[in-house]
């Protein structure tokens, strides 16, 4: 493939309700949809999953735009790429900025799969025909969180994740376990604890959680290893894992028993697959994380989660959980807690250009 043109569609999508984590709230969701066009005029799609402020990682929509425009796109224009797994080495001279890199790398994977008339899932080496889905409940009044779990339970979701922080965790988990003693439940602290809070963390062992996600600082896998020694509950790392090297270190130190893989956070699907393979080798189960994304990343997530070691339901919900109308011709639907992995070419969902036009903040063509 020769990359002829890259179009950045910067959009703003209305969230049905604001989403609250320990350290940030997302109101409307801005996103940059990345369209990569080759010399045959065929398009592949990816998405910048950074937020407008750097609460989850250091990147933002604006830093990604800058990196794409001034550094990443110039490296790709008019370049012949024979496989998307060449992109990480093309990007090697640009440090970090993983979400910026992943957005265009994902688009090239979609394009490559389309050109080979294969699904993205098969192209990545996926083996599942359907994936199991979990859902995330943001921090809110306890009764509201319980009502949401009731509803999602009826919808068939197979795993429930609640956002927590040290000041509300026990109240939330106690309240939920009183009503739902047996549901598959986990908690995501988004780095809101420190090792000094180990007593508070130890209390969470009482709630039969599948895992606790990212309790401590993102750059502290040493303290995560100390915490994992003390806690019965498995630790899952999210923010701490931005490369496959981080995974090797975390496994060697014993910092976690589970890993959440997000292609955006680790710089793309090539690295995500590498992490998947390392974890499989070390019997560390993985699941696919979410970023309150549009259907484009959701479709990529479905393909990624079809790989063999994604044995835990991911944060992959229906389009309708967050959006009135997604950017795809066909909305993504969870049925009986599962999504069928599409077998159409590329990501398997067609982009809805009319909707994208309606949501546009700005458009830039390179
Ligand atoms: O920590 O996994 C996280 C959303 C935004 C940023 C970080 C995270 C999350 C979620 C929600 O937990 C995932 C989703 O439903 O898309
Ligand atoms: Mg998380």
In ligand 1, the atom with minimum distance to the C-alpha of 190 is: 1
User: Do 99 and 247 fall into the same domain?
Assistant: no
User: Do 101 and 127 fall into the same domain?
Assistant: no
Angle value at C-alpha 291, between 286 and 294, nearest 5 degrees: 120
Residue 310 falls inside a structural domain: yes
User: Do 7 and 89 fall into the same domain?
Assistant: yes
Nearest of 28, 23, 4, 22 to residue 322 by alpha carbon: 28
Name the packing angle between helices 98-115 and 295-304 (round to 10°): 70
Burial label, 115 (beta-carbon count in 10 A; 0-12, 13-18, 19+):
middle
Q: What is the mean pLDDT of residues 274-283?
A: 98
Residue 345 falls inside a structural domain: no
Residue 100's pLDDT band, with cuts at 50, 70 and 90, is very high
pLDDT tens digits along 154-210: 999 999 999 999 999 999 999 999 999 999 999 999 999 999 999 999 999 999 999
* Residue ranges of E strands in the chain: 3-13, 19-21, 24-26, 29-38, 43-48, 130-132, 135-137, 160-163, 185-188, 212-213, 235-237, 258-261, 286-288, 338-340, 360-365
How many domains does the chain contain in total? 2
Residue 346 falls inside a structural domain: no
Q: What is the mean pLDDT of residues 29-42?
A: 97
* Residue 214 Cα to ligand 1 middle (Å): 12
Q: What are phi and psi of 270, to 5 degrees?
A: -65, -50
User: Do 328 and 246 fall into the same domain?
Assistant: yes
Residue 60 falls inside a structural domain: yes
Cα–chain center distance at 345: 22
In ligand 1, the atom with minimum distance to the C-alpha of 214 is: 1
Poorest-confidence range of 15-29, 58-72, 233-247? 15-29
Whether 204 lines ligand 1, by a CB cut-off of 6 Å, is: no
> Could you give the CA distance from residue 327 to residue 289 in angstroms, rounded to a whole number?
20
Domain range for 82: 3-117+351-365
CB 77 within 8 A of CB 145: no
Whether 160 lines ligand 1, by a CB cut-off of 6 Å, is: no
Counting residues of the chain whose pLDDT is more than 70, the rounded percentage is: 100
Whether 289 lines ligand 1, by a CB cut-off of 6 Å, is: yes
User: Do 63 and 187 fall into the same domain?
Assistant: no
User: Do 148 and 229 fall into the same domain?
Assistant: yes
CB 64 within 8 A of CB 32: yes
User: Do 279 and 191 fall into the same domain?
Assistant: yes
With b meaning 16 or more CB within 10 Å and e meaning fewer, what string describes 341-357? bbeebbbbbebbeebbe
pLDDT tens digits along 286-308: 999 999 999 999 999 999 999 99
pTM, full prediction: 0.96
User: Do 7 and 104 fall into the same domain?
Assistant: yes
Pocket test for ligand 1, best of 290, 326, 332 (most atoms within 8 A of CB): 290
User: Do 193 and 308 fall into the same domain?
Assistant: yes
User: Do 87 and 25 fall into the same domain?
Assistant: yes
Whether the complex's predicted ipTM is more than 0.90 is answered with yes
Residue 180 falls inside a structural domain: yes
Q: What is the CATH number of the domain that holds 109?
A: 3.30.390.10
Residue 287 falls inside a structural domain: yes
User: Do 298 and 181 fall into the same domain?
Assistant: yes
Residue 23's pLDDT band, with cuts at 50, 70 and 90, is confident
In this structure, the strands spanning 360-365 and 3-13 are: antiparallel
User: Do 135 and 74 fall into the same domain?
Assistant: no
Where in the sequence numbering do the catalytic residues fall?
163, 262
CA R_g for the chain = 20
pLDDT of residue 22: 82
Residue 271 falls inside a structural domain: yes
Q: Give yes or no for residue 140 having a pLDDT over 90.
A: yes
Residue 81 falls inside a structural domain: yes
Tell the residue nearest (CA) to atom 5 of ligand 1.
291
pLDDT of residue 27: 86
* Residue 1 Cα to ligand 1 middle (Å): 33
């Amino acid at each position: 493939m020769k990359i002829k043109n890259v179009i950045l569609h910067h959009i703003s999508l209305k969230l049905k309700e604001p989403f609250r984590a320990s350290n940030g709230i997302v109101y409307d969701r801005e996103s940059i949809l990345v369209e990569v066009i080759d010399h045959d005029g065929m398009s592949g799609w990816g998405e910048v999953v950074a937020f407008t402020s750097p609460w989850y990682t250091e990147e933002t929509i604006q830093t990604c735009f800058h990196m794409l425009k001034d550094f990443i796109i110039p490296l790709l224009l008019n370049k012949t790429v024979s496989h998307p797994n060449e992109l990480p080495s093309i990007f090697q001279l640009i440090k970090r900025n993983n979400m910026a890199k992943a957005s265009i790398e994902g688009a090239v994977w979609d394009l490559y799969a389309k050109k080979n008339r294969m699904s993205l899932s098969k192209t990545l080496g996926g083996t599942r025909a359907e994936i199991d889905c979990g859902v995330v409940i943001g921090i809110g009044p306890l009764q509201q969180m319980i009502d949401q779990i009731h509803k999602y339970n009826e919808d068939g979701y197979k795993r429930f994740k609640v956002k927590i922080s040290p000041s509300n965790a026990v109240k939330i988990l106690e309240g939920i376990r009183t009503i739902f003693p047996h549901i598959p439940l986990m908690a995501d602290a988004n780095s809101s604890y420190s090792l000094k809070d180990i007593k508070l963390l130890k209390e969470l062992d009482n709630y039969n959680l599948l895992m606790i996600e990212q309790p401590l600082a993102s750059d502290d896998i040493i303290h995560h290893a100390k915490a994992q020694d003390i806690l019965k509950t498995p630790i899952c790392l999210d923010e701490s894992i931005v490369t496959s090297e981080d995974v090797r270190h975390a496994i060697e130190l014993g910092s976690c028993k589970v890993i959440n893989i997000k292609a955006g956070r680790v710089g793309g699907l090539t690295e995500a697959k590498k992490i998947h393979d390392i974890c499989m080798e070390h019997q560390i189960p993985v699941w696919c994380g979410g970023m309150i994304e549009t259907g484009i990343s959701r479709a990529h997530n479905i393909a990624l989660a079809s790989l063999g070691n994604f044995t835990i339901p991911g944060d992959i919900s229906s389009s309708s959980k967050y959006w009135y109308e997604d950017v795809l011709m066909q909305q993504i639907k969870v049925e009986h807690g599962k999504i069928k992995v599409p077998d159409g070419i590329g990501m398997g969902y067609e982009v809805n250009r009319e909707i994208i036009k309606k949501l546009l903040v700005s458009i830039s063509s390179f």
